Structure 1
Amino acid sequence: MTLRLILVGLGARAQFWMRVIRDNPDCTIVGLIDPSEAARERALAQWPEAIASADLDIVGKIEADAIVLITPPGGREAQMEAACRAKLPILAEKPLADSVPLAKRYVEMAEEAGIPLMVGLNFRYLPVTQRTMSLFGTTVGKPEFSRFTYERWRDGTLARLNKYPLTMAQPMLWEQSIHHFDLMRYVYQSELVSVYAKTFNPSWSMYADDANVSALFTFANGVIVNYQGLWQSNWQEPSFTWRHECAQGVIVQNDQFGDLHYALQQDAALTSVALPEYEQWYHDAVALLEAFVAALKGEAELQCSGRDHLRSLQMVEACIISSTENRSVDIAEFGAASGPNGKVSRSNPAPQPEQA
């Protein structure tokens, strides 16, 4: 069975998705939606057999099996309503929404419609993420605390980047940190208990609202994470370090997409960890799409569900409240979000391809 997909939003990120979908023999694109005529023409040049439209009128009118939302988190109400009305399973770019209440509404809409809702948290599918988790069990033992540092001067004016983050509220948290927070929950297999955070915007920032954040997280299993996420550092060279302090040693990741090492407590030097070849933004999306397809075919449990995603969004809002009110925030203030067990899904992502 070939899954017929409708793509909503044909901007920069859609270029990756069109390639990933073309490379998946189980998928094809039948619909292309974007208000920009230039974006539609660019997409039709790659998918001439698809039907293109400036609005959502084709949803429910053309035969399709699922919809992919490659759109900003704000203003998705009509898109979600159209997908639910047409009973089309949804794969949505993260974050699902720009507030927890709105995201919760979307999750409930999908559940009431009886359709799967998956969020594109592709960082879970990175080979370095999977290898890190395996090292906890086989080599360095249980993690107890960590330092997560992401430093970047993100030029939001570049043509290859979407422009809406330049004017949105808390762009670092909603657009970038959401990935990091979801990774923390996933890798440590635990939920947040409390956070103390400060968001800020340096004088040289090109962003209208806070593009930097510092936070101290405490998880239910005792893991403490010292986090710094910057979209407006003042050096064009990016930097990334995620160092896990574990019962028998450390794991050090020096690149967002790889460069993994470990050391036992008495080791004189770090040991490099071999990882499969990986093309940035491509192979993780390949695995994400494979997981979505497998769930729709009934071959696997749905991963990165909308309801699970609410827990990561709560971390974002907790940071905002903590910074605004200058206090520690307990996640319990938000109430239940992810269902009866309130746990991160322990399902492993789809196996990485040989050249992932």
Structure 2
Amino acid sequence: MSDRLRVGLVGTGWVAHQHATGYRQAAGDVVEITAACDPRAEVLETFCDRHEVPRRFARAEDLIASGEVDVLALLTPPAVRDEVIDPALAAGLHLLVEKPFATTGARAVRYTEAAESAGVRLAVGQNFRWFPEYQWLDQRLDRPDAGSAVYLEARSFQDRRQRPGQWRAEEHKLEMAIFSVHLIDRLQWLARTEPVTVSARTRRGLEAEPIPGEQLTALLVTFDGGVIAHLTSTWLARSLPVNDFRIDTTTGSAVVQRPGPMAGDARARADFGSGPEEELFPDRADDGGHASRSYGLSMRELATAVREGREPRHSGRDNLRTMGIMEAAYLSAARGGEVVGIEEALA
């Protein structure tokens, strides 16, 4: 193994460009992209030429068998997970899998246990954790004066209606699996305790739009110790966008926000009893931008974990809490908002 881990990308669509740019910005000293795979020849060639990727494969199995990579970044739609993850684990490759990393809670458990049995590091692409305002909040909550969580709230209001013609428009698990999974991950990560139950409601969208998946999600999560979390996320907001996160603790409160989910200057405010605190995080293009850097920092954490022989902070095991909440929410919504336990969702 060389000084830098060799990374192969499976899927070379929009998000692959974000990964490639972020790796150069924030992880170029620990990883290098040596191969990429996509059955769409023109898309693959365009991506590899742009990012100077030397090895190119039409099939994932050929990339996995090539011996050209140490880490596989799986950047495909969720339905492709099974046919790539199992062979990669059998080949002993470490994995970074885009969220959600499985199509069901049970499969998420199986992948996690298989990776642990194989001694392979499995990380989930919850790159939103590496946005600077959330890194600041995570570190601020670790200080003794921050107390312990009582209530958390995540809100996102976007005009992001889906229309027929793209793969997402065919998904039955849509807004929550594509976007709210990031908000769910933030809730479970910052609650600092285990989720227990979920109650949820979803809405598909306008009747005139034949999209099978939900485009609005509202859920209530209870955590061990009595912590409560609420999430509202919609792609149907026509104006006045909102993207913020609040936590109330036994000693005070903190709020982080930015104009868009992945763009715009971020702000943080907190008061844990010693007076107000404020931070501004400019989203500068000359620094690569917060979004693309977050992908690089996510891969950097996996690469560092591989080198140090430990689990990454965004491991599959950690993400079972995220998957458990999301799967319980889908079950709850299908049952008219009935309370569903996390254990059932992961069974």
Equivalent residue for 2:328? 318
Equivalent residue for 2:166? 163
Greater relative contact order (CA < 8 Å, ≥ 6 in sequence): 2
Structure 1: runs of 5 or more not aligned: 337-356
Equivalent residue for 1:96? 101
Equivalent residue for 2:19? 17
CA deviation vs aligned residue, 1:277-336 (integer Å, no higher than 9, x gap): 662312222221211111121265422111221221111111111111121112233468
Cα distance in structure 2, aligned partners of 1:285 and 1:58: 22
Residues 1:333 and 2:340 aligned together: no
Equivalent residue for 1:220? 224
Equivalent residue for 2:64? 59
SS in 1 for 2:78: coil
Count of residue pairs the alignment pairs up: 330
SS in 1 for 2:65: coil
Residues 1:194 and 2:206 aligned together: no
Residue among 137, 149, 165 paired with 1:143: 149
CA gap 1:295/1:276 in 2 versus in 1, 3 angstroms: farther
RMSD value, Cα: 2.6
CA gap 1:47/1:282 in 2 versus in 1, 3 angstroms: closer
Q: CA deviation at 1:218?
A: 1.0
Tell which deviates more after alignment, 133-142 or 308-317. 133-142
User: Match of 1:260, as an amino acid?
Assistant: A
Equivalent residue for 2:180? 177
Residues 1:81 and 2:86 aligned together: yes
SS in 1 for 2:268: strand
TM superposition score normalised by structure 2 = 0.86
Equivalent residue for 2:257? 254
Equivalent residue for 1:308? 318
Equivalent residue for 1:42? 46
Tell which deviates more after alignment, 251-260 or 214-223. 251-260
CA deviation vs aligned residue, 1:130-169 (integer Å, no higher than 9, x gap): 22233333555333113321111114469xxx93222111
Tell which deviates more after alignment, 10-19 or 58-67. 58-67
Q: CA deviation at 1:33?
A: 0.3
CA gap 1:332/1:29 in 2 versus in 1, 3 angstroms: closer
Tell which deviates more after alignment, 5-14 or 285-294. 285-294
Identical pairs, percent: 25
Cα distance in structure 1, aligned partners of 2:45 and 2:124: 27
User: Match of 2:247, as an amino acid?
Assistant: H
Is the 8 Å Cα contact of residues 291 and 300 (structure 1) preserved in structure 2?
no
Cα distance in structure 1, aligned partners of 2:209 and 2:145: 42
Cα distance in structure 1, aligned partners of 2:91 and 2:110: 17
User: Match of 2:316, as an amino acid?
Assistant: G
Structure 2: runs of 5 or more not aligned: none
Is the 8 Å Cα contact of residues 105 and 346 (structure 2) preserved in structure 1?
no
Is the 8 Å Cα contact of residues 283 and 290 (structure 2) preserved in structure 1?
no
Equivalent residue for 2:4? 2
Residues 1:123 and 2:128 aligned together: yes
CA gap 1:277/1:154 in 2 versus in 1, 3 angstroms: closer
Tell which deviates more after alignment, 10-19 or 149-158. 149-158
Q: CA deviation at 1:4?
A: 1.2
User: Match of 2:103, as an amino acid?
Assistant: D
Cα distance in structure 1, aligned partners of 2:242 and 2:343: 33
User: Match of 1:146, as an amino acid?
Assistant: L
Question: Where do 1:27-38 residues align within 5 Å?
Answer: 27-38=31-42
Cα distance in structure 1, aligned partners of 2:70 and 2:272: 49
Cα distance in structure 1, aligned partners of 2:135 and 2:90: 36
Residue among 277, 281, 294 paired with 1:284: 294
User: Match of 1:322, as an amino acid?
Assistant: S
Cα distance in structure 2, aligned partners of 1:186 and 1:34: 33
Is the 8 Å Cα contact of residues 170 and 211 (structure 1) preserved in structure 2?
no
CA deviation vs aligned residue, 1:180-200 (integer Å, no higher than 9, x gap): 111111111111111211111
